[in-house]
Amino acid sequence: MTGPERHRTLARAMPDLPTLAEIESITAAMDAVVPPTPQISWPLLNARAGCELWVKHENHTPIGSFKIRGALHHLGCLLGCTPGLRGVICATRGNYGQAVAFAARRHGLTAVIVIPHGNSVEKNAAMRALGAELIEHGEDFQAALEYSEQLAVQRGLHFVPSFHRDLAWGNAVSTLNFLRGTPPLERVYVPIGLGSGICGLLAARDALGLATRIVGVATELTPAISLSFAAKRLIPHPVSTRIADGMACSTPNPEALQHILRGVERIAVVSDDEVEAAMRAYFTDTHNVAEGSAGAALAAVLQERALNAGRRIGVVFTGGNVDQSVFARVLAAA
């Protein structure tokens, strides 16, 4: 099977969401490797947002991002069903690559990561430190993705997509912990890249039988998912964001889109300026460093301050991996 054929196979409709027992079984295996991250309601941030805001701090994982559990679960499942598996390959803008490298090293696999030119210097360094071989190709994530599929065939590696049901269900471990660890939340905001984070949240919410509404977040310059959601069909669109690189996906994943259409209330859209203002707000009010994707979710909360006034709201702080030079520029723009 060629790389593109494998990708199309993975793009078939996903099975139903996992049960609570299934997520809990993944949790039991995961917590020993990645301890649960905290959820905190910060007084200064509450005052800024005009609501009781609970922040799920996925920036506190060993790689500074929520993606780690999904990769651990997915590679663990691959080892159980792929005889002779020795190495994996994927494309990334950084956080997913770190997650795959971390999981590959733990499972005794080699990891090859394809990144676009101009990728985050510090994320690249982190992936190399985790033992990954990095290959630069193309000007955006889509070009890197297509090249990684070709290399998978040429080098006999297992292509690991950036969205897969096992990734989403592994990520559901953290959001299950979030929804259980806070008072009942009326609404939760989460940024969307290819969708493993928001689909994990949907799985946890539905497994618990909660009425919590889920709002996905896109930026004005990463509009493919918001356009696809509005049209109820996949609509690719170029991306040009200067700050939310983790959301810079020009082609939504069809599997994820199915679940987003089924379970997400709506998609909020924020500007890059609003994202950077939210990154500054996180640092000022909590002294946590937020990358652009994490800032985007808070930006949507702040944008909808009037809607959420006096309510109990959740936001997923998806990661804190931002280059020092970029974060310095964001802070200086205050």
What does the pLDDT look like over 223-282, one tens digit per residue?
999 999 999 999 999 999 999 988 988 999 999 999 999 999 999 999 999 999 999 999
Q: How many domains does the chain have?
A: 2
Q: Are residues 26 and 98 in the same domain?
A: no
Q: What is the mean pLDDT of residues 175-196?
A: 97
What distance in Å separates the CA atoms of residue 217 and residue 24, rounded to the nearest whole number? Answer: 27
CA 30 vs. chain centroid, Å, equals 17
Helix 272-286 and helix 324-332: axis angle, to 10°? 90
Domain ends where: 127, 159, 191? 159
Helices (H), 107-241: 121-129, 141-155, 165-181, 196-208, 224-231
Q: Are residues 32 and 136 in the same domain?
A: no
What distance in Å separates the CA atoms of residue 56 and residue 282, rounded to the nearest whole number? Answer: 12
Q: Are residues 83 and 60 in the same domain?
A: no
Compare 69 and 249 and report the one with higher pLDDT.
69
Q: Are residues 212 and 244 in the same domain?
A: yes
Q: Are residues 128 and 181 in the same domain?
A: no
Q: Are residues 279 and 309 in the same domain?
A: yes
Q: What is the CATH number of the domain that holds 150?
A: 3.40.50.1100
Give yes or no for a contact between 218 and 267, defined as CB atoms under 8 angstroms apart: yes
Give yes or no for a contact between 66 and 316, defined as CB atoms under 8 angstroms apart: yes
Domain that holds residue 317: 20-65+165-332
DSSP state of 83: T
pLDDT of residue 15: 52
pLDDT of residue 248: 86
Q: Are residues 56 and 177 in the same domain?
A: yes
Of 80, 58, 274, nearest in space to 171 by CA: 58
Q: Are residues 199 and 328 in the same domain?
A: yes
Give yes or no for a contact between 197 and 274, defined as CB atoms under 8 angstroms apart: no
Domain ends where: 159, 181, 202? 159
Q: Which of 15-29, 164-178, 186-200, 229-243 has the lowest mean pLDDT?
A: 15-29
Of 125, 142, 130, nearest in space to 323 by CA: 125
What distance in Å separates the CA atoms of residue 257 and residue 163, rounded to the nearest whole number? Answer: 11
For residue 149, being part of any structural domain is answered with yes
Residue 219 host element (H or E): strand 213-219
pLDDT tens for 288-321 read 999 999 999 999 999 999 999 999 999 999 999 9
For residue 15, being part of any structural domain is answered with no
Domain ends where: 137, 159, 181? 159
Q: Are residues 195 and 299 in the same domain?
A: yes
pLDDT tens for 1-54 read 333 333 333 333 345 789 999 999 999 889 989 999 999 999 999 999 999 999
Over the chain, what is the mean pLDDT?
93
Q: Are residues 191 and 54 in the same domain?
A: yes
Q: Are residues 222 and 286 in the same domain?
A: yes
pLDDT tens for 86-113 read 999 999 988 999 999 999 999 999 999 9
For residue 216, being part of any structural domain is answered with yes
Q: What is the mean pLDDT of residues 162-186?
A: 96
Residue 45 host element (H or E): helix 43-49
Q: Are residues 198 and 121 in the same domain?
A: no
